[in-house]
Amino acid sequence: MSWPPPDRLMSSALRADTAAGTSPRQAARATVPRHRLVLLVLGGIGLILGTYTGLARAGIEHRFVAADLHGVIMVLGFLGTLIALERAVALGRAWGYLGPASSGGSVLVLVVSRPVGSVLLLAAGIVVSLTYVALLRRGHLDIHLVIMLLGALAWVGAAALWLAGAGPVHITPLLAGFLVLTIIGERLELSRLTLPSWSSRRRFLVLVGIFVLGIAIARWWREAGLLLGGLGLLGQVAWLLRYDVARRTIRRPGLPRFAAICLLGAYGWLAVSGVLWVAMGLGARGPLLHDALVHALFLGFVLSMVMGHAPIILPAVLRIPLVFLPIAYLPLALLHVSVAVRITADLAGSFWWRELALHGNVAALFAFVVLSVVAARRGRRQGSWMPASITQPGTTPVTSR
């Protein structure tokens, strides 16, 4: 099984575009592919609907009844569509777009027909899994692709259980598995890890295996599943903290430092979530403990990672260079502070403080989206391709002007 070699510093989506004969700089100047933009907009609708249902889930917004759609829409409708789109671009085959089209479409359909929407989500998960199989068949048995394939299979499992009538809490470990495994796989692919020894790589695979076993059994043996999943999470965080370049790139100014702060902050929240998985696995209970377990991972870890990777992934998908704006620290700080308040409120059982924190979470999310649009518009006006945008922050650029 091969490890991503150090020269593979571009996201696979960008590699696909450049392999198609377009240089990164030409790609940056090309028009935005309409179909990709439409799919991205569908994902954006998923974010809006996911936030709205989240507020309903917290009892703040009452007009929307289907509050239990929140987790599915946020994870599969919003982030799933973005991830499926990036994978389809990486594959470079028309059928790959069926994945983001189905998950993006499901966002609209779920509201009117849950069974049809659930079938679309299941179909999307299957297409994304097949995308990884196709990518694996193209080259080596890359470890990061195998890990991401496991993540896509967790998506399929969550969608199948949801279709069969399982409640939102029961599919949460699988939803977490989809995002954790995808992000960790992406991290391995993008990062110039200080290539660890074989025994260390084997240790990492064992930790991934423990986590996968935990999320796979959690639907039937909740405590055991959470305990194993939490131990797997904690082990993976320790491993990634040791080998991720972010610890070094944090000393470099500009985008590399910003991305490194996003990544290290994200690992911190993953560790917090891991501790909560273990605690709940051992029987700890509290009125808001599940909220803490869920959002330390989905908001603290996932969204911090999204903020750190957006300047790399979005240009590759949309062919729009993003200019790094130092004001990007504002939504990032708001995210981390509001998640910290939320988790503290959850642990203290304070609904009032949690409600306050929820508004901070929402503000951070939308500030990030607005800022990404501004950064893309600026980048497009300048017509420049920022080398740092397409490389792992802190490493030698793939192309330079």
Interface contacts to ligand HEM, rule CB under 6 A: 51, 54-55, 57-58, 68, 70-71, 74-75, 79, 168-169, 172, 175, 290-291, 294-295, 298-299, 302-303, 358, 361-362, 365
Shortest CB 251 distance to ligand HEM, Å:
30
In the block, which residue shows the tokens 């982030």? 79
For residue 36, the one-letter residue type is R
Shortest CB 253 distance to ligand HEM, Å:
29
- Return the number of the residue (9 or 299) whose C-beta is nearest ligand HEM: 299
Q: Six-digit token pair at 93?
A: 């085959």
Tell me which long-range contacts 337-341 makes (C-beta under 8 A, separation of at least 24): 338/363, 338/364, 339/269, 339/295, 339/296, 339/299, 339/300
- Return the number of the residue (314 or 320) whose C-beta is nearest ligand HEM: 314
- Return the number of the residue (195 or 370) whose C-beta is nearest ligand HEM: 370
- Return the number of the residue (172 or 236) whose C-beta is nearest ligand HEM: 172
> 224, exposed or middle or buried, with CB in 10 Å at 0-12, 13-18, 19+?
middle
Shortest CB 246 distance to ligand HEM, Å:
21
- Return the number of the residue (193 or 302) whose C-beta is nearest ligand HEM: 302
- Return the number of the residue (133 or 370) whose C-beta is nearest ligand HEM: 370
Over the range 75-107, which residues count as b (16 or more CB within 10 Å of their CB) and which as e?
bbbbbbbbbbbbbbbbbbeeebbbbbbbbbbbb
Shortest CB 33 distance to ligand HEM, Å:
26
CA distance 333 to 330: 5
Shortest CB 374 distance to ligand HEM, Å:
21
CA distance 361 to 135: 36
Over the range 153-162, which residues count as b (16 or more CB within 10 Å of their CB) and which as e?
bbbbbbbbbb
**3-state DSSP call for residue 2?**
strand
Shortest CB 175 distance to ligand HEM, Å:
5
Shortest CB 18 distance to ligand HEM, Å:
30
- Return the number of the residue (24 or 46) whose C-beta is nearest ligand HEM: 46
Phi, psi of 88 (to 5 degrees): -65, -40
